[in-house]
């Protein structure tokens, strides 16, 4: 059973997303399975984007703090 997406690190989510894309590209799954994979892939991509957005905010804050010194 896969971990809940919210509990995945960025690296774990990215790795799972790559696997999902690979499975979809093989086209060896039913339409129902494809839809489930697509939905999980969308959720994983969103989770990765949230991680990256959070990292950008931290970097921006650190750069701003450095400039004010």
pLDDT (tens digit, 9 = 90+) per residue, 1-41? 467 999 999 999 999 999 999 999 998 889 999 999 999 99
**Is position 4 within any domain?**
no
Full residue range of the structural domain in which residue 38 is found: 10-67
- pTM, to two decimals: 0.80
34 domain residue, yes or no: yes
Whether 45 is in a domain gets the answer yes
- Rounded Cα gap, residues 5 and 12, in angstroms: 9
Gap between the terminal Cα atoms of the chain: 49
How far is 56 from 48, CA to CA, in rounded Å? 12
Q: 69: pLDDT confidence band, cut at 50, 70 and 90?
A: confident
> Structurally, how many domains does the chain consist of?
1
**42 occurs within a structural domain:** yes
Please check whether residue 3 lies inside any domain of the structure: no
User: Considering the domain boundaries, does residue 1 fall inside one?
Assistant: no
């Amino acid at each position: 059973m896969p971990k809940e997406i919210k509990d995945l690190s960025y690296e774990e989510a990215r790795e799972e997303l790559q696997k999902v894309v690979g499975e979809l590209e093989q086209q060896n799954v039913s339409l129902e399975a494809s839809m489930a994979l697509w939905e999980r892939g969308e959720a994983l991509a969103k989770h990765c984007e949230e991680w990256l957005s959070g990292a950008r905010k931290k970097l921006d804050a650190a750069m701003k703090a450095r400039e004010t010194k």
